[in-house]
Structure formats: C-alpha cells, structure tokens
Amino acid sequence: MRFHGLLAGAALGVGLLAAAPALDAAELKLGYSLAPTSHYGVGATAMDEKLRELSGGEWSIKQFPANALGGEREMVEGAQLGTVDLVITSTGPVGNFVPEVLITDIPFLFRDYEHAHAVLDGEIGQEILGQFPNHGLVALAWGENGFRNLTNNKVAVKTPEDAEGLKIRTMENQVHMAAFRELGVLPTPMAFPELFTALQQGTVDGQENPIGVILSAKFAQVQKYLSLTNHVYSPALIIISPSVWDGLSDEEKGWFNEAAKAGAKAMREKAEADARDGVAELEKQGMTVVSNVDRAAFEEALAPVFAEFAKKFGQDRIDAIRAVGN
Ligand code: EAX
C-alpha cells in the first residue's frame, strides 16, 4: 500500500511539473514616469510582448505608468531594495546610484541619435551597463528619452543671455545642475512628479525635457515658450531588480535581455517620432516655438564647465565618446 501511495504521489508530482509554466507564470511590476501612450509606455509594451513570446507566457509585465510607483529616484531605489521589479527611467537620478552613468549626461556630447545609439550600444555603453551590479542594480539596455529642450513662461529664449536669471527645474542630476548654473540660470532640482504643479504655480519659470515628455506631461497647459535648444541627449535605461535577476536561469536571462532590446528599439522609434512630429502639435496647443536657437552660443557658454567635466570624467573618455562614428 505504502509503495502504491508513493507511486501515486510521484505520478502526481510529474503532473504538477508539466503544468508548472502556467502555475508559476510570473507577472513583474514595471514603473515609469510618463503616460502609457508615451515612448516609455510603447517600450514597456514591446518588452512585455517579446518576453511573453520568448517565455511561452511564463513571464509577463504589469505596467505602472505616471509615477504610480514614485518618482524615478524612488523607483530606482525600489529596484535596489527589491520592491520594484523593473524600471524604465531617464538617467536623471541614476548617476546618484551608478556614478559611471554621469558622463552620458554631459550637454552637447552626442551629435545626433545615430551617434548616441552607436556609443550606448557599443563598447562604451555596454561597459557602463556592466558597472550596475557593483551598485546593487542590473541594467538590461539603454532606451531613449531624447534630446532635451527648454520651456519657460517668461521669455522667448534664443541665446544664453535670454536664459539668464530664469528659475529652471532640472533633474536631480549634478552634471545638469552644474551646466545650468554656468549659464546663469537658477537650477532647481525637483522630482518629476512635482513638476507640473510647480510650473502651474510659478514656483519655477521653466523646465527642460524631450518633446515626447513635454507632450505626454501636457506641459503646454502651463508653459508658453518652447526653445529648440536640444542641449543634451537624455538616455533612458531599462533596469531590473537584482532580486528578480539573480533568481533567473541563464535561459531566462537571455529572454529578458532580448525583450529589453525589443523594448529599447520601440522606445527609440517613438521618442524620435515625437521629436519629429511633436513640435507642430505643441504649437497647436498654444506654445510659442523658438526654432532659431543659437546652439553654438550655448555650447560656448558652457566652456568652463566642460573643463570641469574633463577633470572629473577624464578628457580621454569624453574624447572616446566623441570619436565614435567619426
Ligand atoms: O524620464 O525627470 C525628467 O525630466 C525626465 O526626463 C522625465 O521624468 C522622463
């Protein structure tokens, strides 16, 4: 009898194992700061689709858009702690966790999208991703936020002099803050979830973000002037919590890497489409667009802070980034 019972138990065990993928199907929590229709939402959806396809439905992603899991700094912290599984974030606060990322936040470093992609997907970018585990995080891929543009309520900014004295919200990022300080702007670091209200109430005069973000966050409702400064390329990252990553098999890690690549590709396509088509839309929404910005003057005005960055990050490393694709 005992013998039979054991056999029956073994048979049951096999049955359970065969059904394991369905029983164990895991849904991961992914947070980001924008609406589901944004480049982050499009990227998250593409990643989810690819992950389901590769894992036969074993793994999937539940999205928490619009800061539902907190601001970007809080979400990255959550990934470190294991309370957030996945995050799509700008590099804004990431350099506070992984200092090696900060070099990518230097203004006027990337010439265009092609250059940025070549650097980030190439040796230099992959080396930076490789540093994340030393800081309690895992980054799967570089996504994209886009080239940032200045908006404000006071003046049509064309030159650095026009921007002097403006109170501008910056990300919680020491490289961005140093650059804006150099321009004579009053940089006010602030988490993104607080920004709309701060613009509405006049706590700050302006902010800067890629066209896709300005559209998604509906900043046209609270900002008058849009200057096409394209002063800094803003990368995004797809981060996974080590608490999830460390439990994955090599095969599963492969699925996540491939899914993140699909997400990053879709994110870039959407961010670039927004940058192309979104300016006309923002104009329609009532913004005054300044397209003849003197970008060379902005770059020149930053010369002293570029010298500081060279000391901090190494002129050779900055040159290596600039040299990619030349
Ligand atoms: O990631 O904080 C920012 O300005 C970011 O660009 C925005 O949250 C999108």
- How would you classify residue 227: left for phi > 0, otherwise alpha for psi between -120 and 50, otherwise beta? beta
CA dihedral 105, 288, 113, 264 (to 10 degrees): 80
Give the pLDDT confidence of 53-98 residue by residue, as tens digits: 999 999 999 999 999 999 999 999 999 999 999 999 999 999 999 9
Closest residue CA from atom 1 of ligand 1? 90
Q: What is the pLDDT of residue 24?
A: 64
**Cα radius of gyration (the chain):** 22
Parse the chain into domains and list their residue ranges. 25-266+273-323
207 close to ligand 1 (CB < 6 Angstrom): no
Contact between 267 and 257 (Cβ < 8 Å): no
Give the pLDDT confidence of 233-256 residue by residue, as tens digits: 999 999 999 999 999 999 999 999
In CATH, what number does 25-266+273-323 get?
A: 3.40.190.170
Q: What is the pLDDT of residue 25?
A: 76
Is the Cα dihedral 295, 214, 145, 179 positive or negative?
A: positive
Q: Is the pTM of this model over 0.85?
A: yes
Given the CA of residue 148, which atom of ligand 1 is nearest to it?
A: 6
67 close to ligand 1 (CB < 6 Angstrom): no
